[in-house]
Amino acid sequence: MTQVCLVGSDDVNLRYELLSRETARNALATYDLQEPFANTVAVDTVSLGAAVALLNDLNWYLVRFADAAFVRDPSISETEWLSRNLAAAIRDDDIAPEETGRFLKVYGIVDPDRTSDADDEGPTEGESTPDTQSVEADGPPELVEPMLLTRTGDTIPDYDLQDVDETLIVRVTESEFGA
């Protein structure tokens, strides 16, 4: 299965915006909608071509409500995603899949239960821990601050914009990398 993941803009609720409009709702009606990250919508499609076609059908909404659209095709990579432009270029045979791993956009992934101002060391001597810190936050992890990287070998440089739990790697076109 080829996956599509749409990342909503900070100022909108992407799922609401897509499902509140008839054309987008109809385009998504046959898919099981998932939310792998905060303010995202993800679906499984049958092929890279079907994924690109779905993104084309949703283009009007993506321009207005989404920051990014990713495609992950297991025949290209089990773990890395493709940008929408790169997925379309591969589908159209403009770029060979084996030529796609150099230019990357890497997102940090932060779990929702992480607090931005809390240390992992816990309270200092004489300090109590508020009851609210022991309650885990609900919801999926959040994608944060993308960073452009170039792969020069088998490894990529570490994500260093902030402390994150994991990273999500998106392969991009050379023009997207330079933009």
The pLDDT value given to residue 153: 84
User: Which of 20-34, 108-122, 125-139, 142-156 shows the lowest per-residue confidence on average (mean pLDDT)?
Assistant: 125-139
Whole-structure pTM value: 0.84
pLDDT band per the 50, 70, 90 thresholds, residue 121: very low
Q: Is the pLDDT of residue 13 over 70?
A: yes
Q: What is the pLDDT of residue 155?
A: 85
Q: Which residue has the higher pLDDT, 133 or 109?
A: 109
**Contact 61/24 with Cβ under 8 angstroms?**
yes
What is the structure's pLDDT at 154? Answer: 83
Mean pLDDT, the chain, as a whole number? 88
- Residue 112 pLDDT: 83
Task: State residue 157's pLDDT score.
Answer: 87
